[in-house]
Structure 1
């Protein structure tokens, strides 16, 4: 199925792009795990800790500790799950949402600056790839379930 696609090269290109793209200058420095949790809660939250555990590459004790630190730092909050009073939902605070929004805005600006340097043909190819990348993300999410 992948005869016409060099998946090894595609993987390397994605890794190289991510290396450049995820390392944005920021007023506040956060480690990758912190940013991943904030991003996940920004996109999919509120979530239970067990649901968050399924999306993050951390063991439960490490994630529990990270969540406690983020709560102490005022970036996330806990509230009772309305469907199960014994469980808690994690969500971003206003400050947490602002960090996620600011990083997204920085990425949009950075990518806009890069895309503006492409030729019209290259921009058209890139525009056509948005659907394919979205579809790959959906397939990966389905595989996790």
Structure 2
């Protein structure tokens, strides 16, 4: 059996690199100091719109008591608000407030700035390689959303 070519991609290698990249990128210094779960919930609501608690719980993969407690805290801090669901008067939707959306924007700006600095430390060939991989990584991310 011939050894794999350089074009072959091993799922174990990809998982290891993406895992390490994710762990380190989550910990990048930020102006806004919030937990990963808080940032994830705010990001989800800012990008996907208002959601029921049960949908948000499933999206964030945390327990019902945990999402209820987190949303209560975020509501108290003025980052989200609960509104009646227009399709079901018994249910509520959680939506991000302007202050919550600003947290997401500030975090994004911090990350763009820091990734820009990191990109400057790479060779032109490394930057081109990452650029060439972006469409495939975006497709993988989209495929992850369809698997739920």
How far apart, CA to CA, are the structure 1 residues paired with 2:116 and 2:30? 18
The normalised TM-score by structure 1 is 0.90
Please provide the CA RMSD for this pair: 1.4
C-alpha contact (below 8 Å) 2:80/2:97 kept by paired residues: yes
The 3-state SS of whatever aligns with 2:94 is strand
C-alpha contact (below 8 Å) 2:32/2:107 kept by paired residues: no
1:11-50 aligned within 5 A: 11-50=15-54
Partner of 2:67: 63
TM superposition shift of 1:112: 1.0
TM superposition shift of 1:27: 4.0
Partner of 1:131: 135
Structure 2 unaligned residues grouped into runs of 5+: none
Which structure's CA Rg is the greater one? 2
The normalised TM-score by structure 2 is 0.89
Structure 1 unaligned residues grouped into runs of 5+: none
The 3-state SS of whatever aligns with 1:68 is helix
Partner of 1:142: 146
How far apart, CA to CA, are the structure 2 residues paired with 1:84 and 1:135? 34
Q: How many residues align?
A: 142
